């Protein structure tokens, strides 16, 4: 049974739609402030002068090294640093505080090694909330930056070279991975250790609560939705508590192994404590594709298609391994996936910087809804800001299945002039 969306399965929707003309490319290994390494491609137009504007394209977990925006950016004469975070493709350990340092390494590379005069962050999807988090921290004096991650780890922000970008482009942005998950986590799960245990009164995929057989749209009443959203937040908070219990046990083992007299304890006791200190638990988060808006288009109405970005059958994909936040460490849960604890909330961070900002909404998006865009737009503190909706566009501006004609050019017809007017 193929559950992955036809527009997703046909090919990575965030990849080139066409090969860029006159493209030069260099493979790079960049070093972040905490000495971790990340990979990137530096793209430029060999027929144009050395670029004065450098664009950073990055996503927390998706490979954007051949992002669909690159061909048009190169044609305009911009340089593009398309980078992967340190954990791209496998973000079970992905902490946003570490990835902010990866963005910092990219900005620093452009300014110090490539000679660009202006840097623009192009954040698509989760790249938008990551860019917003970086920018909000970079504009602060080092002493005022966040010192700790939600798990209590040092962020290293205060000592890291973090130069603010000159402009920010937010394309099909969501509020943050934690907020996406909070809206999509299945509130009917009754036991985090049981993938099938269900509270039928909170099951959005139960016909008694308004679910219709796909592809017919479902209808939920306001009372049910209020109970469901409350239960979603409560489940996130319960998982937060589980994550913090794991961290507390690790902290206790760390303290015990460093305590006076540890060397005098028996070999068995020392071995047990050291194993517990070394242990890195993986949390399995069951059923993370249960946003009622996937199947009820009267919730935050838009011309979107049925289902989610990943699947036209979210009711079944809800049980599949492919999905958001299905496995993660406690630190990654709190930093990235918890709507209650993550600091990578674009609405919160958008209020923290004043650089020119372009916000672009894909009107047929199945993951980002009009209310999300309205909240981000209202939060943006930039005095120079513009919000544009691209009608007919999906989340990655991807084409219909079997076609190569998407809406990327319509997107870039907005993005390119906006950058040129301000920075070229």
pLDDT single digits (tens) 183-223? 999 999 999 999 999 999 999 999 999 999 999 999 999 99
Instruction: State the Cα–Cα distance between residues 150 and 267, nearest whole angstrom.
Output: 34
pTM, rounded to two decimals: 0.95
At a CB cut-off of 8 Å and minimum separation 6, what does 366 contact?
A: 294, 304, 305, 307, 308, 309, 394, 395
- Whether the Cβ atoms of residue 296 and residue 369 lie closer than 8 Å to each other: no
What is the secondary structure of 151-183 as a DSSP string?
TS-B--TTTS--PPPSEEEEES--S-HHHHHHH
Tell me, yes or no, whether 198 lies in a domain. yes
* Residues 52 and 132 grouped into a single domain: yes
* Residues 114 and 43 grouped into a single domain: yes
* pLDDT surpasses 80 at 11: no
* pLDDT surpasses 70 at 2: no
SS3 356: coil
Tell me, yes or no, whether 1 lies in a domain. no
- Whether the Cβ atoms of residue 199 and residue 188 lie closer than 8 Å to each other: yes
* pLDDT surpasses 80 at 404: no
* Residues 150 and 185 grouped into a single domain: no
How confident is the model at residue 10, as a pLDDT? 62
Exposed/middle/buried for 402, CB within 10 Å: 0-12, 13-18, 19+?
exposed
Exposed/middle/buried for 259, CB within 10 Å: 0-12, 13-18, 19+?
exposed
* Residues 297 and 360 grouped into a single domain: no
* Residues 172 and 48 grouped into a single domain: yes
* Residues 275 and 212 grouped into a single domain: yes
Tell me, yes or no, whether 224 lies in a domain. yes
**Domain containing 378 — which CATH number?**
3.40.50.1820
Instruction: State the Cα–Cα distance between residues 358 and 397, nearest whole angstrom.
Output: 17
Average pLDDT over residues 142-160: 97
Q: Mean pLDDT for the chain?
A: 95
Instruction: State the Cα–Cα distance between residues 111 and 166, nearest whole angstrom.
Output: 11
* pLDDT surpasses 90 at 352: yes
Of the candidates 298, 174, 286, which has an alpha carbon nearest to the alpha carbon of residue 239? Answer: 286
How confident is the model at residue 15, as a pLDDT? 85
- Whether the Cβ atoms of residue 352 and residue 135 lie closer than 8 Å to each other: yes
- Whether the Cβ atoms of residue 165 and residue 108 lie closer than 8 Å to each other: no
Q: What are the beta bridge partners of residue 121?
A: 56, 168
Q: 210 is in which domain, residue-wise?
A: 181-328
Handedness of CA 130, 131, 132, 137 (dihedral sign): positive
Helix (H) or strand (E) holding 224: helix 222-258
Query: pLDDT-based confidence at 1, cuts 50/70/90?
Result: low
How confident is the model at residue 12, as a pLDDT? 73
Instruction: State the Cα–Cα distance between residues 359 and 417, nearest whole angstrom.
Output: 14
Chosen domain end from 301, 328, 355? 328
Domain count, the chain: 2
Average pLDDT over residues 42-63: 96
- Nearest 5°: phi and psi at 360? -120, 125
* Residues 249 and 277 grouped into a single domain: yes
How confident is the model at residue 88, as a pLDDT? 82
Instruction: State the Cα–Cα distance between residues 329 and 333, nearest whole angstrom.
Output: 6
Higher pLDDT, 322 or 121: 121
* Residues 89 and 172 grouped into a single domain: yes
Q: Report CA 130 to chain centroid distance, whole Å.
A: 6
Tell me, yes or no, whether 334 lies in a domain. no
SS3 16: coil
* pLDDT surpasses 90 at 29: yes
Chosen domain end from 293, 328, 363? 328
Cis peptide bond prior to 215, omega within 30° of 0:
yes
Instruction: State the Cα–Cα distance between residues 142 and 158, nearest whole angstrom.
Output: 4
Higher pLDDT, 60 or 8: 60
* pLDDT surpasses 90 at 323: no
Tell me, yes or no, whether 333 lies in a domain. no
Tell me, yes or no, whether 213 lies in a domain. yes
Half-sphere exposure (Cβ direction) of 56: Cα atoms closer than 13 Å: 37
Instruction: State the Cα–Cα distance between residues 372 and 52, nearest whole angstrom.
Output: 33
Chosen domain end from 294, 328, 362? 328
Of the candidates 156, 147, 123, 113, which has an alpha carbon nearest to the alpha carbon of residue 55? Answer: 123
Of the candidates 186, 173, 149, which has an alpha carbon nearest to the alpha carbon of residue 336? Answer: 149
* Residues 317 and 355 grouped into a single domain: no
* Residues 313 and 366 grouped into a single domain: no
Exposed/middle/buried for 325, CB within 10 Å: 0-12, 13-18, 19+?
buried
* Residues 260 and 365 grouped into a single domain: no
Query: pLDDT-based confidence at 322, cuts 50/70/90?
Result: confident
pLDDT 10s digits, 239-253: 999 999 999 999 999
* Residues 100 and 187 grouped into a single domain: no
Tell me, yes or no, whether 336 lies in a domain. no
């Amino acid at each position: 049974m193929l559950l992955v969306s036809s527009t997703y399965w046909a090919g990575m929707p965030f990849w080139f739609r066409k090969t860029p003309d006159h493209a030069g490319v260099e493979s790079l290994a960049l070093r972040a402030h905490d000495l971790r390494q990340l990979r990137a491609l530096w793209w430029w137009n060999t027929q144009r002068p050395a670029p004065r504007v450098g664009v950073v394209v990055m996503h927390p977990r998706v490979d954007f090294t051949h992002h669909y925006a690159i061909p048009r950016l190169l044609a305009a004469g911009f340089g593009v640093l398309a980078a992967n975070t340190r954990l791209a493709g496998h973000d079970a350990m992905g902490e946003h505080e570490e990835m902010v340092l990866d963005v910092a390494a990219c900005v620093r590379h452009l300014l110090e090694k490539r000679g660009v005069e202006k840097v623009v962050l192009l954040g698509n999807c989760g790249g938008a909330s990551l860019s917003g988090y970086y920018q909000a921290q970079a504009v602060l004096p080092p002493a005022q930056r966040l010192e700790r991650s939600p798990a209590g780890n040092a962020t290293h922000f205060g000592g890291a070279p973090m130069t603010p970008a000159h402009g920010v482009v937010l394309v099909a942005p969501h509020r943050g991975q934690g907020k996406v998950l909070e809206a999509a986590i299945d509130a009917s799960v009754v036991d985090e250790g049981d993938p099938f245990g269900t509270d039928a009164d909170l099951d959005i995929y139960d016909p008694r609560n308004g679910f219709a057989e796909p592809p017919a749209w479902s209808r939920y009443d306001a009372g049910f939705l209020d109970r469901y959203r409350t239960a979603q937040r409560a489940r996130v908070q319960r998982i937060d508590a589980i994550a913090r219990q794991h961290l507390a046990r690790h902290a206790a083992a760390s303290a015990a192994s460093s305590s006076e007299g540890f060397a005098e304890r028996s070999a068995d006791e020392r071995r047990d404590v050291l194993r517990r200190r070394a242990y890195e638990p993986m949390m399995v988060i069951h059923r993370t594709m249960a946003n009622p808006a996937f199947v009820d288009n009267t919730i935050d109405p838009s011309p979107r298609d049925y289902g989610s970005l990943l699947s036209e059958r979210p009711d079944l994909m809800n049980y599949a391994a492919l999905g958001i936040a299905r496995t993660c460490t406690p630190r990654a849960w709190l930093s990235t996936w918890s709507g209650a604890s993550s600091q990578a909330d674009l609405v919160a961070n958008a209020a923290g910087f004043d650089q020119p900002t372009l916000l672009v909404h894909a009107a047929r998006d199945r993951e980002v809804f009009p209310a999300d865009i309205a909240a981000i737009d209202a939060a943006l503190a930039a005095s120079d800001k513009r919000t544009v909706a691209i009608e007919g566009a999906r989340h990655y501006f991807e084409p219909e299945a079997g076609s190569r004609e998407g809406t990327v050019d319509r997107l870039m017809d907005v993005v390119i002039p906006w950058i040129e007017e301000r920075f070229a």
